[in-house]
Structure 1
Amino acid sequence: MMSRNSIVSSIYTAVLRYSRRKGEQPMTHRLGIVTIGQAPRSDIMPAIGEILGITDYVHTGVLDDVPPADILALAPSSGEDVLTSRLRDGSSVLLSRERLLPLLQKELTRLENDGCEFIWLLCTGTFPEIVTTRSLLIEPDSLIAGILAKINRGQYTLGVLVPLAEQIPGISSKFTGISRVVYDCLSPYEAYTDNDVSNVAAYFRDENCQLVLLDCMGYPPALKKRLMADTGLPVVLSNEFTASLLAKMLTV
């Protein structure tokens, strides 16, 4: 004889399946997605939205309401950590991590006050200073690096692709759990050629990499596909990887 809990579970499953057949959305928790540039991120959000499988999310940018002159004032000076992102018009921008911090914290607080249960920082940069009090903050930098460090107990060679060479000193510390890490650069926010991609693939092959990480939220699925084909290696696309994890948490 089925227990009461088993009966309730069976009824719930049947109702859920019926609602999905009727075209209703699965149960979700409210999600905020914040880019350090400007929203909407039309270059990556369609693919991310498809993976998430939900429509109840808020997408904002730290620079959404910042005047152009003030954006220029956020450019990094010597010795400051360099970030790069995309503006609404499709152009790219260089940002000082240190100068961006107050604006980022302000936007996180606003999303939290708006009722977001989860907030996804759409950036792989490192921001140990930012906090939330109620919302669960998803930071891809520590999330992805932490998981990769558990593969083979970190004893392998990881190839990391970043937009700019200037970013390498500021991010190398997050991969200390991996025995050998090599870096190459290709910006998703600037035009690149097939030859540029071939050179990246050749470098990672020559360095005997066993896994490749595309360490920027702006890299497109097409680049992952091309690098997998050219290197024969598994490739982690940061935005896809994070979205897949969130999808498992946010939907039934």
Structure 2
Amino acid sequence: MILGCVTIGQAPRVDVVPDIEPLLPGIRIVERGALDELTPAEIAELTPAEGRAALVSRLRDGSSAVLDEERMLPLVQRAVDAVVADGAGAVLVLCTGHLPELRSPVPVYTAERLARGAAATLVGEDRLGVLVPTLRQVDDIAARWRHDLGRRVSIGAVDPYTADDAELASAARGLAAEGVDWIFLDCIGYSERMASIVQDASGARALTARGLAARMAAAAVATA
């Protein structure tokens, strides 16, 4: 089985794929990025205006970009088409943002649906804290989780692409002060190592979007 992994940034995701490959035994990964063919100037034009839903992703040089969620849809679709052309029998979109209506002749799984759905099930009635990359995402993500869970969640912001361990720990302690039982790291950029830092600093159980999405995708592919 070939799984096409689509990032909203640029491939290869050397920060993500080595982390999830052990969770996908017997599966070969091919990668494409929505921004692979774009110049720095073209990427800069995708910066969202104030009040627009924002996504954050990694570029090939290790830097990050803030992107307008809605304007990313056709670019993500192009990357989905590319991995299918490369022979993918299923596609995993490595983003927890809302990217509806992706078309493909093979199954398309999004980290938003897989990881957030799994996290909501695990959390149950416990108190949830969520970490996102940037403050401009807080209101939007809080509203989405309130819709999913039917109650308020606590939100903190720390950039997985630029923050050091101390900043991660500080953000985790901020959520712990609000009494959360679980912390969901709501961006593919957060690694399992970062989750360990968050868990140690907060005392809450920490979940990564990348880990949950990969495990759920492996189960879905196995039963397809």
> Is TM more than 0.5 here?
yes
Mapped contact 1:142–1:174 kept (Cα < 8 A): no
Which one has a bigger Cα radius of gyration? 1
Q: Using the alignment, how far apart are the partners of 2:83 and 2:169 within structure 1?
A: 41
Mapped contact 2:12–2:60 kept (Cα < 8 A): yes
Aligned to 1:174: 144
Q: Deviations over 1:90-118 (max 9, x none)?
A: 11111111222211122223333444221
> Secondary structure at 1:180's aligned position in 2?
coil
Shift of 1:164: 0.5
Aligned to 2:110: 139
Q: Using the alignment, how far apart are the partners of 1:150 and 1:221 within structure 2?
A: 20
Mapped contact 2:186–2:208 kept (Cα < 8 A): yes
Mapped contact 2:119–2:207 kept (Cα < 8 A): no
Mapped contact 1:145–1:174 kept (Cα < 8 A): no
- Relative to the length of structure 2, the TM-score reads 0.90
Of 98, 102, 125, 2:97 maps to 125
- RMSD over aligned Cα atoms: 2.0
Aligned to 1:206: 177
Q: Deviations over 1:201-236 (max 9, x none)?
A: 221221110111000000122111112122222111
Which AA in structure 2 matches 1:206? Answer: A
**Percentage identity across paired residues of the two chains:** 33
Q: Using the alignment, how far apart are the partners of 2:71 and 2:219 within structure 1?
A: 34
Aligned to 2:69: 97
- Relative to the length of structure 1, the TM-score reads 0.80
Q: Using the alignment, how far apart are the partners of 1:231 and 1:121 within structure 2?
A: 29
Q: Deviations over 1:37-75 (max 9, x none)?
A: 101111121111122124522111111111222111111
Aligned to 1:244: 215
Aligned to 2:2: 30
Shift of 1:251: 5.3
Q: How many residue pairs were aligned?
A: 221
Aligned to 1:156: 126
Gaps of 5+ in 2: none
Shift of 1:123: 0.7
Mapped contact 1:156–1:180 kept (Cα < 8 A): no
Q: Using the alignment, how far apart are the partners of 2:172 and 2:79 within structure 1?
A: 37
Distance 1:191 1:148, change over 3 A: closer
Aligned to 1:61: 33
Mapped contact 1:112–1:132 kept (Cα < 8 A): no
Mapped contact 2:114–2:212 kept (Cα < 8 A): no
Distance 1:30 1:41, change over 3 A: same
Of 162, 186, 194, 1:215 maps to 186
Gaps of 5+ in 1: 1-28
Mapped contact 1:117–1:136 kept (Cα < 8 A): yes
Q: Using the alignment, how far apart are the partners of 2:92 and 2:139 within structure 1?
A: 24
Which AA in structure 2 matches 1:118? Answer: A
